[in-house]
Amino acid sequence: MKSFETMCDMGSIKIYNKEMSCFFSNNIGDLPNTVKIYEKKRKVKPRNEEFLGHFTVKTEAYLSAYDCADEPIYKFEKGRWFVNLKDDVTFLIEKIDEEIHS
């Protein structure tokens, strides 16, 4: 598991590449966010997680250090990734599988 802190002015985290940007809201506003990335599917999931959505990486995608700019701090591998929110400011991003046709 890798852990990062991101900043925001839109109350979200930003996942992006050269063709798109997607944002996942922390539901409370402009506070620093903790982002924990699991490169393999977790066997045990903590309680009180809210599923926010998912994204598929076919070539490349990055987590940005700031939601209003392209500032890469982590490069996602190919595959499907789920995004959950815990305690309003902790994002848990988990690689589910290698499937890229979702």
What is the percentage of the chain residues whose pLDDT exceeds 70?
99
Q: Tell me the average pLDDT across 36-40.
A: 96
Positive or negative, the Cα torsion across 76, 25, 70, 72? negative
Q: Of 41, 38, 44, 32, which Cα lies nearest the Cα of 7?
A: 32
Give this prediction's pTM: 0.92
pLDDT > 70? residue 102:
no
Mean pLDDT over all residues of the chain?
93
The pLDDT of residue 48 is 86
pLDDT grade for 47, boundaries at 50, 70 and 90: confident
Residues 85-98: tens digit of each pLDDT:
998 779 999 999 99
The pLDDT of residue 73 is 98
Residues 12-35: tens digit of each pLDDT:
999 999 999 999 999 888 989 999
Domain residue ranges in the chain: 2-97
Q: Of 80, 98, 93, which Cα lies nearest the Cα of 13?
A: 93
